[in-house]
Amino acid sequence: MKLYPLLTMLFFLLSCGSQTQPKNKQMPEKVLYEELTPTEFRERLAEAPVAYLPLGTIEWHGEHLPLGSDGLQSREFFIRLAQEAGGIVYPMLFMGPDRREIVNEEELYGMDLNYGEEADKKYYPTQKLDGSSYWIAEADFKIMMEAIMKQVSRSGFKILVAHGHGPSTGFLIDHTEEWEEKYGLKILHCWGHRDKEGMGIMVDHAAMNETSLVMALRPELVKMEYLPADTSEWPVGVGGKDPRLWASPDKGKEILAIQQERMVNLIAETLAGIK
């Protein structure tokens, strides 16, 4: 038997079969600033002059979450907002302000510092937690943020949505009125709705809320098996409801749906007010 005719027929059938498959899968909408061409930038800016700034850090978020959890959560959430509400997502920051003390001649900050009582279940000794590499003085952070505000305004944006690391977001809120007047921007953040229920965007530290959000947004980065299996042993540097008992991808998706709807409406209202 000659194989050539059979191989030819097989190739023909495979080719026909491949033509029945969808030729063009719809590509995700490009919203990351660094990926846009000037033409794409102009088009998106004209449609919605909204900039999103993820206020990230490289900071301990328990043994189970990535060190960049702050920026990863805010960036991924902002991508969703930009794809629905319009606008462009800036690259995430990794520097931010926080508590800082010198303890035994060692510089400690943020979650390194624990002011709780030893009798508290969530207590852990003050220590330098592995991987944290983000601290910047508030004066320097203000210089950096004002440089960013200037560039956001210069580029033609009218609204800036900034959110992420708690102290960075708090600093933004404290200076919002000043910066809005100075740079002609409307500045928004994502706190304020159902935060006390743990249903906001980044309203604990590596606990139920943040763990659920990372599970929903970047599940491949979550390593729950790195936490103590015994729930009577509290995970170091985790603040909030126990993620081992309360966190889940479904909870994260629920939070995202609630907050995305709210923020899309808020952005639309704000745009309508400035056009």
pLDDT tens readout for residues 191-216: 999 999 999 999 999 999 999 999 99
Please tell me the predicted confidence (pLDDT) of residue 115. Answer: 87
Burial (CB count <10 Å: 0-12, 13-18, 19+), residue 246: middle
Please tell me the predicted confidence (pLDDT) of residue 27. Answer: 78
Predicted TM-score (pTM) of the model is 0.89
> CA 3 to CA 5: how far, in whole Å?
6
Q: Is 142 helix (H, G, I), strand (E, B) or coil?
A: helix
Please tell me the predicted confidence (pLDDT) of residue 188. Answer: 98
Residue-level length of the chain: 275
| pLDDT surpassing 60 at residue 21 | no
- Which single residue is written with the structure tokens 């909408």? 29
In percent, how much of the chain has pLDDT > 90? 87
Query: What number of CA atoms fall less than 13 Å from residue 221's CA on the CB side?
Result: 19
User: Which residue, 224, 262, 264, is CA-closest to 243?
Assistant: 224
pLDDT in tens, 155-164: 999 999 999 9
Q: What is the residue extent of each domain of the chain?
A: 29-96+134-274
Please tell me the predicted confidence (pLDDT) of residue 119. Answer: 84
Please tell me the predicted confidence (pLDDT) of residue 166. Answer: 97
| pLDDT surpassing 60 at residue 35 | yes
| pLDDT surpassing 70 at residue 25 | no
What residues have CB less than 8 Å from 82, skipping those under 6 apart? 29, 31, 50, 52, 88, 89
> pLDDT tier at 183 (50, 70, 90 boundaries)?
very high
Phi-psi region of 262 (alpha: psi -120 to 50; beta: other; left: phi over 0): alpha
CATH domain 29-96+134-274 topology: Rossmann fold (3.40.50)
Please tell me the predicted confidence (pLDDT) of residue 221. Answer: 98
> pLDDT tier at 26 (50, 70, 90 boundaries)?
confident
Q: Are 67 and 116 in contact (CB under 8 A)?
A: no
Lowest-pLDDT choice from 115-119, 211-215, 219-223 = 115-119
User: Which residue, 68, 213, 74, is CA-closest to 134?
Assistant: 68
In percent, how much of the chain has pLDDT > 70? 91
Please tell me the predicted confidence (pLDDT) of residue 24. Answer: 53
> CA 238 to CA 65: how far, in whole Å?
10
What residues have CB less than 8 Å from 255, skipping those under 6 apart? 199, 200, 201, 209, 212, 213, 216
Q: Is 40 helix (H, G, I), strand (E, B) or coil?
A: helix
The predicted model gives 234-258 an average pLDDT of 97
User: Which residue, 145, 128, 160, 129, is CA-closest to 93?
Assistant: 145
